[in-house]
Amino acid sequence: MRHPLLAAVLGGLAVFALSVAASPQDKKPVNTKCPIKAGTDANAAITSEYEGKTIAFCCNNCKGTFDANPKQFAAKIPELKAPPAKPAGKEPAGPVNNRCPVNQEGIDAKYQVAVQGKVIAFCSRICYNKFVQNMAAYLPNVPGFAKKEEKKEEKKADGKPVTYGPCECKKTVKGYYCLDCKRELGADDIRSNVCKRCEKKPESIEYCQKLSAPFIHNGEKTPRSDEDRARVTYECEACGVKGEIESQFKHKPDCKPSFGSGIKKVCTKTGTAPHLGDAK
């Protein structure tokens, strides 16, 4: 038979154990700073319950202040604030293109850039770099980025046409064209003076080039300029034959140029000879 005194002691211990188990102080406080005294470390042994969360304070006075008006001070506890919800429909969209805007090959989604809120993907890091360095040349190849209309011809005071485009810059630059691949080549497309794709020696071509004023691109530290360029083509003043590669140019059989080869250079963007645009 159990002794009455022993039974009473065991019962008391059970009640104490239940009270300890239910004590809110066993719960880890959600906050580390006192919500009443800003910047003061909270004491994990001095707490109150608020909407199922354990709140800690630096002293009993602050605990009493909180308990008198918990809703007011709970708003000052950053740990109780829910993270902002992501706006509906703002998730990043996939690439708007399925062909590389630089060389028209398939894309690899790991090489991409956002322009005007649209994601553009490329086939390789090389094409990505080419695009970033000369967006004006490749953006028209991306769906949704139509080529800007050329300005209509305007007249200056002396009656001469006002020209726009690369010819305003007093220089041309060399380039390369692969006759076998039928494509323009950049520095990354050539190895040991031959086309990387077909290993044939490319033909020399020219571009009219205009550079924008230097600026700092997002995420970069070194100033750079955007490049605007257009192919230089060739035309015979006597027979009217046109060609894109000077070394392959052929006159009509009965053509008799009045001076030298009779070939004149024409900028494909302005329709005028290189270097004859308005001076800046």
DSSP per-residue letters across 74-113: HTT-GGGSPPPPPPTT-SPP--S-SB-TTT--B-EEEEEE
- pLDDT value at position 238? 79
Of 53, 80, 107, the position where a domain reaches its end is 80
If you count DSSP H runs as helices and E runs as strands, how many of each does the chain have, helices first? 5, 14
Helix residue ranges per DSSP H, 122-195: 125-133, 135-138
- pLDDT value at position 67? 92
- The answer as to whether 175 is a domain residue is yes
Are residue 74 and residue 177 in the same domain, yes or no?
Answer: no
Are residue 260 and residue 160 in the same domain, yes or no?
Answer: yes
- The answer as to whether 13 is a domain residue is no
- The answer as to whether 2 is a domain residue is no
Are residue 143 and residue 25 in the same domain, yes or no?
Answer: no
- One pLDDT digit (tens) per residue for the chain, 280 residues: 555 555 554 555 444 444 444 444 457 888 888 988 878 888 999 999 988 889 999 999 999 999 998 888 888 888 877 665 555 555 456 899 999 999 888 999 889 898 888 899 999 988 998 898 888 888 889 988 876 555 555 565 666 665 556 766 567 888 899 989 888 888 888 888 899 899 999 999 988 887 777 777 666 778 777 777 888 888 887 788 888 888 888 888 888 776 566 788 888 877 777 765 544 3
Q: Report the C-alpha gap between 148 and 83 in whole angstroms.
A: 43
This prediction's pTM: 0.40
- The answer as to whether 268 is a domain residue is yes
Task: Say if residues 184 and 192 touch (Cβ distance below 8 Å).
Answer: no
What's the Cα-to-Cα distance from 66 to each of 38, 41, 48, 72, 276, rounded to whole Å? 13, 16, 8, 8, 79
Of 43, 61, 80, the position where a domain reaches its end is 80
Cα-atom radius of gyration of the chain, to the nearest Å?
A: 38
- pLDDT value at position 96? 92
Are residue 209 and residue 271 in the same domain, yes or no?
Answer: yes
Are residue 164 and residue 235 in the same domain, yes or no?
Answer: yes
- pLDDT value at position 252? 85
Distance of alpha carbon 266 from the chain centroid: 35
Are residue 69 and residue 181 in the same domain, yes or no?
Answer: no
- The answer as to whether 71 is a domain residue is yes
Domain of residue 108, residue span: 89-149
What's the Cα-to-Cα distance from 185 to each of 36, 80, 127, 202, 231, rounded to whole Å? 68, 59, 12, 8, 12
141: helix, coil or strand? helix
Are residue 108 and residue 49 in the same domain, yes or no?
Answer: no
- pLDDT value at position 156? 58
Number of structural domains the chain divides into: 3
Q: Report the C-alpha gap between 55 and 49 in whole angstroms.
A: 6
